[in-house]
Chain A
């Protein structure tokens, strides 16, 4: 009996095609839903200026939790920036996660910290807290510093939750730059909803190259480096098209760890952050949603399309590779932990749409892509390549990738238009054309490495050094 090579090639080719069609359909639907979500948000929020409410004493107090690890270089500037946040009542809890450098000393010296013996309860597991500090200065009275043994970001956040005093917590990266009304906008879903809101998140914007003065973005500039510009487009796609669409169908599985607000009671009931995963932000939200489903309690997750938080993204390939490696591991760890949700109609949109989407089009996509490359090489060796097919498929794939990116750019232009200079638009369009060729293959490689590391059992975050936004701003200003 002859080996059915041709049939096998056909079956594999068709499988790739079907996968591609499903992926395109998914992306198209997400673009469609996002458009309506953004339009509705713009209509609602085009009407009144709510900044006056920031004077109100009736807004619920918030605990802002910011873990810091080896942040000696920028910690003082970052905390000063957080202290200027515009909200009537909030405490800022900095969690020094066992830094090996002088992070704690700098904090103690700069903010005149003394030991604090306030009572708290270790309801969530975390590494041992060595000491809690508060400032002797009235101007820093809402600052609390927790010094603990190193345990990772999730562990640090758990310690912060234990120490925090208020019922709404806002978990952020310590070096984030917040818009002046960021907290007001993020808390609004909690207060303006008939259902219980368990979490809300906002769009994260890229601060590299932006001009920052006194902890505020004063001028939005398009990053000069291609690697950062490509990430700018990625963020547009992820936030303006991906998360907006999931928010519209109530299928959001991820609120970025860089800036998210949570109902503390639900977080604690769900067990807090999972320190055994590197994707703790996604894992927590999924667990909270499962909890609410199990309790049969009506709930909602808010998402604000306004640019509320600016962060520095990896400015070089090494750090970017580590970040994407970690994201891949985090995604898979979460999906594996909550695998019972997959295709489970009991979880509604989450079970039928969200988790399968994350499995097939977020985690599996690089693997399918890599398998496609291997298949192509095999066909090449076997002399089975039809170059017209190759050209046809490549053009369709490339065409769709560019189309999806320029659509995201269009949404940005339609909605917030953060990049004011007209030549930025041309540069971004050019980046959209180059990104699938020069950037995407690298992301593919980093994701594959993430999968390999996951199989090997790697659990670490990898070093994520940052330039420091204050410095970027200063460099830019000096130009």
Chain B
């Protein structure tokens, strides 16, 4: 060792730096390997703890739900004081309650929602919502929506949150918890909806929301384009034929996505006046809308109309539209003569 020290002392600085970094790197390697092993042990341990909490919570919830001898006040107090002390315990309890909530229906589902409050887990969730970081807020809103905790005033302020994930959860909250008018939150929105959110909202209205189907035409004058496009699509999806006259002016809207959605919706409604309105503007239209117009001619029009469009179509760059026209023509011909 003494010889090594002597060599190093007499060596140029660059060698000393090298040795120093070599030692540093090996030290870091040792630390990271230890951290890796520790992390594995910690995760394994945490998994075990989670399993044990989970078993305890499951036992408690099963007794609560199905044991007629269950002493509600005493057991709840005891469980809260003994087994809901750490944050992990509370999170695990919430997770299990969410799972039960998803799998139970009717009275049992209501009981699960009740126990969530009785265990004062709602306070924990609302505290996360108030004081937590963005991902804790997002999680909190998710829990509130799943367990139908109705605090629209509290959640509304997150509809335009800076963080996308929080914003999305707030939107889903309103859909899931609404008893009627599930889209009332649109009035408070000032950020455009992503397609992902639109799919979630549509899915929520179709499969989660139980109240009367909203009147989507209420949102046709919304200042956000995506809300407008969504409303047009929903009018068609929910067969609100009575709003067709309100949709027609949107064939001339300045935004191409709005025009596209309007053509598509009116086509699906089999709206008779559609072709008279869109064919004259076909050649000046955007490609996106042209495609929909061709599909509309295929479904609502005749071969003659299609051939008029085709004959006037010479632009090389619009190959997609030409292909659509040819496909439409082939389909119409084969409908006329199935032997073709």
Chain A interface residues toward B at CB < 8 A: 17, 43-44, 46-48, 52-53, 55-56, 58-60, 118-121, 123, 188, 190-194, 388-389, 392-393, 395-396, 399-400, 402-403, 406-407, 409-410, 413-414, 417, 422, 425, 429
Q: Once bound together, how far apart are the Cα atoms of A46 and B135, in whole Å?
A: 9
Number of residues on chain B facing chain A (CB within 8 A): 48
0/1 string, B8-44, CB within 8 A of A gives 1 = 0001001100110110111011001101110110011
Determine whether the beta carbon of A392 is less than 8 Å from that of B18: yes
Task: Choose from A121, A191, A429 the contact partner of B195 (Cβ within 8 Å).
Answer: A191
For the residues of A in contact with B, the DSSP-based class is helix
- Which residues of chain B are within 8 angstroms of A425 by Cβ–Cβ distance? 36-37, 40
Task: Choose from B37, B39, B202 the contact partner of A56 (Cβ within 8 Å).
Answer: B202
Task: Choose from A44, A59, A194 the contact partner of B165 (Cβ within 8 Å).
Answer: A44
Determine whether the beta carbon of A121 is less than 8 Å from that of B323: yes
Determine whether the beta carbon of A191 is less than 8 Å from that of B36: no
Q: Once bound together, how far apart are the Cα atoms of A399 and B20, in whole Å?
A: 11
Task: Choose from A44, A194, A392 the contact partner of B19 (Cβ within 8 Å).
Answer: A392
Determine whether the beta carbon of A402 is less than 8 Å from that of B196: no
- Please tell me if B58 contacts chain A, counting CB pairs below 8 Å: no
Determine whether the beta carbon of A413 is less than 8 Å from that of B323: no
Known: A191-B199, A425-B36. A399 touches B11 (CB 8 A): no
Q: Once bound together, how far apart are the Cα atoms of A244 and B194, in whole Å?
A: 24
Task: Choose from A17, A47, A193 the contact partner of B135 (Cβ within 8 Å).
Answer: A47
Q: Once bound together, how far apart are the Cα atoms of A410 and B15, in whole Å?
A: 30
- Please tell me if B203 contacts chain A, counting CB pairs below 8 Å: yes
Determine whether the beta carbon of B43 is less than 8 Å from that of A388: no
Chain B interface residues toward A at CB < 8 A: 7, 11, 14-15, 18-19, 21-22, 24-26, 28-29, 32-33, 35-37, 39-40, 43-44, 134-135, 138-139, 142, 164-165, 169, 192, 194-200, 202-203, 207, 319-320, 322-323, 326-327, 330
Distance in angstroms from B43 CB to nearest chain A CB is 7
Determine whether the beta carbon of B22 is less than 8 Å from that of A396: yes
- Which residues of chain B are within 8 angstroms of A120 by Cβ–Cβ distance? 323
Q: List 22 A-B contacts (CB under 8 A).
A: A43-B134, A44-B165, A46-B139, A58-B203, A59-B199, A191-B194, A191-B195, A191-B199, A192-B164, A192-B196, A193-B194, A194-B194, A396-B18, A396-B22, A402-B29, A406-B32, A407-B32, A410-B36, A410-B39, A413-B43, A417-B43, A425-B40
Known: A413-B36, A429-B36. A399 touches B194 (CB 8 A): no
Distance in angstroms from A168 CB to nearest chain B CB is 11
Chain B: which residue is nearest A402 at the CB level? Answer: B29
Q: Once bound together, how far apart are the Cα atoms of A406 and B200, in whole Å?
A: 40
Chain B: which residue is nearest A389 at the CB level? Answer: B15
Known: A56-B203, A188-B196, A422-B44. A47 touches B165 (CB 8 A): yes
Chain B: which residue is nearest A59 at the CB level? Answer: B199
Task: Choose from A58, A121, A389, A422 the contact partner of B319 (Cβ within 8 Å).
Answer: A121
Distance in angstroms from B272 CB to nearest chain A CB is 26
Chain A: which residue is nearest B330 at the CB level? Answer: A119
Determine whether the beta carbon of A403 is less than 8 Å from that of B203: no
Chain A: which residue is nearest B11 at the CB level? Answer: A388
Determine whether the beta carbon of A396 is less than 8 Å from that of B25: yes
Distance in angstroms from B189 CB to nearest chain A CB is 14
Task: Choose from A58, A121, A193, A414 the contact partner of B199 (Cβ within 8 Å).
Answer: A58
Determine whether the beta carbon of B197 is less than 8 Å from that of A192: yes
**Would you list the 8 A-B pairs with minimal beta carbon distance, nearest first?**
A399-B25, A392-B18, A192-B196, A395-B22, A43-B135, A191-B195, A191-B196, A396-B22
- Which residues of chain B are within 8 angstroms of A44 by Cβ–Cβ distance? 135, 138, 165
Q: Once bound together, how far apart are the Cα atoms of A6 and B209, in whole Å?
A: 81
Q: Once bound together, how far apart are the Cα atoms of A17 and B21, in whole Å?
A: 13
Distance in angstroms from B158 CB to nearest chain A CB is 14
- Which residues of chain B are within 8 angstroms of A53 by Cβ–Cβ distance? 199-200, 203
Q: Once bound together, how far apart are the Cα atoms of A43 and B164, in whole Å?
A: 12
Known: A58-B199, A59-B199, A123-B319. A413 touches B39 (CB 8 A): yes
Q: Once bound together, how far apart are the Cα atoms of A429 and B165, in whole Å?
A: 36
Determine whether the beta carbon of A393 is less than 8 Å from that of B142: no
Q: Once bound together, how far apart are the Cα atoms of A414 and B42, in whole Å?
A: 11
Determine whether the beta carbon of A403 is less than 8 Å from that of B25: yes
Distance in angstroms from A432 CB to nearest chain B CB is 9
